[in-house]
């Protein structure tokens, strides 16, 4: 598979600088225009200011892009563009048809690994949906974490999911889940409320980098998941979100939303039914994750 690097990422590889991968589904399918474009640019800026180089990943015209210019970011953000949500399953047909795809956590992980990147920042990972015992709806992000060597920094599984079952599946797959300076798995928009203890707490980026080195040097393939609580100043307490989440799940059921449309539907519904509150939180948490991912990438790089 051909990978097309932008100049900034090419320079980072040449100069052996730490790189942080960023996904594009959050731009095309996770946030509304024009906030999505603003967030995409500020995430990249946050990575640079922390001392690493950002590589936003997408498939454009059937070519995998590692690092995007402003024109490409604008195309991904435009709601009139034809951009597919691309997970692992969707990559072959996008390459074959010359299509445009915004990559999910799963797809971004695997493409970033091919590009030699070890750290990736996102908002929230996909996971086990509530009612998965009948719908079988489990995000492809989880099996990807099981197989692809990548440190993924997120604010927890999205609160629309069954967070406890998501952590169980990660345990089955042998994925270390690290609470960064926290004892409870954060619930995306909220710092607490999941009721699930983190399997391991680490408080310093350097300690996370050491774990990554040990895991992969030991030949233990697969991801490392860091859960980083949204800053307290930005969070929405879980109790305040419950009504919007319950209503979103009920609407999705009534309207027969299925497959890859489920997550974008739920996020959009909650966005419009919390008077934009959830959007502000979403922005704050991804920025927070981009900064931590850059710190981890720098520490990992120093320990090489």
* Owner of token pair 């060597």: 149
Establish if 25 lies at the interface with ligand PSU (CB under 6 A).
yes
Structure tokens at 31: 């946030």
Residue written as tokens 């960023």? 22
Q: Which of 26, 46, 58, 170 binds ligand PSU (CB under 6 A)?
A: 26
Q: Are 57 and 112 in contact (CB under 8 A)?
A: yes
Catalytically annotated residue among 44, 85, 158, 283 = 158
Distance of CA 90 to the CA centre of its chain: 17
Q: What share of the chain is helix, strand, coil (3-state, %, to 5)?
A: 50, 15, 35
Active site residue 235: no
Does 295 bind Mn ion (CB under 5 A)? Our answer is: no
Q: Which stretch binds Mn ion (CB under 5 A): 116-124, 131-139, 155-163, 286-294?
A: 131-139
Q: Which residue is nearest to ligand PSU (CB)?
A: 30
Total of residues contacting ligand PSU (CB under 6 A): 19
Shortest reach from residue 263's CB to Mn ion, in Å? 6
CB 109 within 8 A of CB 223: yes
Residues from 82 through 101 that contact ligand PSU (CB under 6 A): 87
Contact status: 137 vs Mn ion (CB under 5 A): yes
Q: Which does 277 bind (CB under 5 to 8 A by kind): ligand PSU, Mn ion, none?
A: none
Would you tell me how many other CB atoms lie within 10 Å of the CB of residue 207?
15
From ligand PSU, Mn ion, none, which one binds at residue 194 (CB under 5 to 8 Å depending on kind)?
Answer: none
Q: Does 23 bind Mn ion (CB under 5 A)?
A: no
- Name the nearest CA neighbour of 178 among 190, 167, 191, 162: 167
Residue in 18, 67, 101, 124 binding ligand PSU, rule: CB under 6 A = 124
- Active site includes 23? yes
The first and second tokens of residue 221, run together, are 């393939």
Burial class (CB in 10 A: 0-12, 13-18, 19+), 256: exposed
- Which residue ranges make up the site for ligand PSU (CB under 6 A)? 23, 25-26, 29-30, 87, 104-105, 123-124, 126, 139-141, 158, 260, 263, 267, 282
Q: Which residues are catalytic?
A: 23, 158
């Amino acid at each position: 598979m051909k990978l097309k690097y932008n100049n900034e990422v090419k320079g980072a590889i040449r100069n052996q600088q730490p790189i942080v991968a960023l996904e594009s589904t959050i731009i095309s399918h996770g946030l509304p225009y024009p906030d999505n474009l603003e967030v995409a640019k500020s995430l990249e800026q946050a990575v640079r200011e922390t001392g690493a180089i950002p590589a936003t990943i997408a498939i454009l015209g059937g070519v995998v892009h590692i690092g995007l210019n402003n024109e490409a970011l604008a195309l991904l953000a435009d709601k009139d563009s034809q951009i597919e949500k691309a997970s692992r399953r969707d990559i072959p047909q996008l390459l074959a048809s010359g299509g445009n795809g915004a990559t999910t956590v799963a797809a971004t992980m695997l493409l970033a690994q091919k590009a030699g990147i070890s750290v990736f920042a996102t908002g929230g990972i996909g996971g086990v949906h509530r009612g998965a015992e009948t719908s079988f709806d489990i995000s492809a992000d989880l099996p990807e974490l099981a197989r692809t060597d990548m440190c993924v920094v997120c604010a927890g599984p999205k609160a629309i999911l069954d967070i406890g079952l998501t952590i169980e599946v990660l345990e089955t797959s042998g994925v270390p889940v690290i609470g960064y300076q926290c004892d409870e798995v954060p619930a995306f928009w909220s710092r607490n409320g999941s009721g699930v203890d983190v399997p391991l707490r680490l408080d310093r980026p350097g300690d996370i980098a050491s774990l990554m080195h040990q895991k992969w040097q030991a030949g233990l393939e697969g991801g490392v998941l860091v859960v980083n609580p949204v800053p307290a100043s930005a969070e929405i307490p879980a109790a305040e979100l419950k009504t919007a989440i319950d209503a979103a799940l009920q609407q999705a059921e009534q309207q027969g939303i299925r497959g890859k449309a489920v997550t974008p539907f739920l996020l959009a519904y909650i966005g419009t039914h919390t008077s934009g509150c959830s959007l502000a939180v979403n922005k704050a948490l991804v920025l927070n994750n981009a900064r931590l991912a850059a710190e981890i990438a720098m520490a990992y790089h120093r320990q090489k």
